[in-house]
Amino acid sequence: MPEPRSGDRPAPAAQKVDFPPLQNGVDYLDSVADQLRFGQPSPRNLKYAVLHLQAAAEVLLKARLVQEHWSLVFKDPGSAKRDRFEAGDFDSCTTTGAIGRLRDIAGVTIGDKPTKSLAILAKWRNRLQHYGLTAPVPAVEVTAAQVLDFLVAFVHDELLPTLPWPEAAAAADDLESVGMKVRGITSYMATRLKRLGEELKDVADRTVRCPVCEEWALVLGGHAIAMDCRFCHTTWPDAVQALEQYHNVYLANGNIQECPECTQDTLLVEAVGTAAAPEASHSVCFCCGTDFAVTARCDDCHNTFIPNPIDDHGLCGNCLNGAVDRF
């Protein structure tokens, strides 16, 4: 065999990087599953769950990107250099960027829910490094379990099939043991959810989907000041902020107006499903929880609105204010 000349190309990077990142990523997943496994994880368990999960997500998503093309893990693929890649000396894309490229370029299906959970996770990891973990324990637990569940399936569907046999067999064994732990965690989550469903039976008509954990666990009305999700315990200082996040996450197209019942600007018109009627588009106030059945059409802008039974001018709030301003 001839001596390699200096300046010869090294072996293609794809062959070099396939297995170690996968093994590394699965090892992180195993650690996360251990942190979350027992009933109520401590804040310390959750801290390491967040750190290791974020590390696993980065390693595993990028391993799949590299299979597509090594330059795709660069922050700016246009200026990617092969030697920098091989030396591991470059600014790489973010987790969110990696997900976008996997979807758009590699054609990998990644649902909106895991995408959102991964984004939340990345935010927590950054905050954790600067301020410590400030999110409520159950919210971290729920999100971490969702991401863990997603990543195990991702490795199984996207990475294992590309490995040569001996490595694939070894990785499949490791993954199977992580999968068993994950099933334990998710069945515990399911039990909690079932119990909560029982507890919230009587308020199902004013319980909406939480914009953080996406469970039907955000009970409207009856809040002295702050409101919180009964499943993940994310807390909002008031109904306005809870509604704002709900509106952002679910892209509800309904208008927000003043509530005739409690006078807060927290009534979302014809856009809210409740635990009692998930597919419905009710008009519900996020502050007092009132579900308004009667709607009207504004004489001026023709938008649907909820009329004030005592003081109905046939105009929605916007048009009414406009009319008042003109005089």
Q: Which is nearer to Zn ion, 159 or 316 (CB)?
A: 316
Q: According to CB under 5 A, which residues from 194 to 213 bind Zn ion?
A: 210, 212-213
| Smallest separation (angstroms) from Zn ion to the CB of 290 | 5
Alpha-carbon dihedral angle through residues 166, 169, 170, 171, given to the nearest 10 degrees? 120
Q: Which of residues 115-174 bind Zn ion (CB under 5 A)?
A: none
> DSSP readout, 148-195?
HHHHHHHIIIIIGGGS-HHHHHHHHHHHHHHHHHHHHHHHHHHHHHHH
For the bound state, the minimum distance from the C-beta of residue 153 to Zn ion, rounded and expressed in Å, comes to 22
Residue partners of 265: CB distance under 8 A and separation at least 6: 240, 256, 257, 258, 259
Residue 171: name the closest of 65, 23, 27 by CA: 23
Using rule CB under 5 A, residue 320 touches Zn ion: no
DSSP helix/strand/coil, 300: coil
Asked if 273 and 282 count as a contact pair (C-beta separation under 8 A), the reply is yes
Type of residue numbered 119: A
Sketch the per residue contact string, 222 through 261, with Zn ion: x for CB under 5 A, - otherwise.
Answer: -------x-xx--------------------------x-x
- Cβ proximity to Zn ion, 173 vs 299, nearer residue: 299
CB of 286 to Zn ion, least distance (A): 8
Establish if 34 lies at the interface with Zn ion (CB under 5 A). no
* CA end-to-end distance (rounded Å), the chain: 94
Q: Which is nearer to Zn ion, 159 or 285 (CB)?
A: 285
Among residues 178 and 316, whose Cβ is nearest to Zn ion?
A: 316
Using CB under 5 A, list all residues that contact Zn ion: 210, 212-213, 229, 231-232, 259, 261-262, 285, 287-288, 298, 300-301, 316, 319
